[in-house]
Each structure stands twice: as C-alpha cells, then as structure tokens.
C-alpha cells in the first residue's frame, strides 16, 4: 500500500544495492528487509 502511494505521488523505486542516478527535484524510495521504506526528495 505504501509503495503504491509513493508511486502515485511521483516517487521512483530504486534499488539500495545498485548505483543511484539521482536528479535535482527527484523523488525516490527503496525498501529494506520487506519491513522498512525509505523515501526522500532531492531539493531544487
């Protein structure tokens, strides 16, 4: 449910294990251990 809501809000799911290609103004989230969601936005 939370992952769906983040996606609807424009957040992009990224993998914690891969290199990130983040952009100014971007919104991202990743999950850990199927129990934690970390979401963040990059300022403009």
Residues of the chain with pLDDT under 50: none
SS3 31: strand
Please count the helices (runs of H) and the strands (runs of E) in the chain: 1, 3
Model pLDDT, residue 11: 98
Model pLDDT, residue 3: 94
Instruction: List the domain range (segments joined by +) for residue 15.
Output: 2-41
User: How many domains are contained in the chain?
Assistant: 1
State pTM to two decimals: 0.87
Q: Looking at the chain, which runs of residues are DSSP E strands?
A: 12-13, 27-32, 36-41
């Amino acid at each position: 449910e939370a992952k769906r809501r983040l996606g609807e809000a424009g957040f992009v799911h990224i993998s914690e294990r891969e290199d990130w290609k983040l952009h100014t103004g971007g919104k991202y989230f990743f999950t850990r251990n199927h129990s934690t969601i970390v979401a963040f936005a990059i300022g403009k």
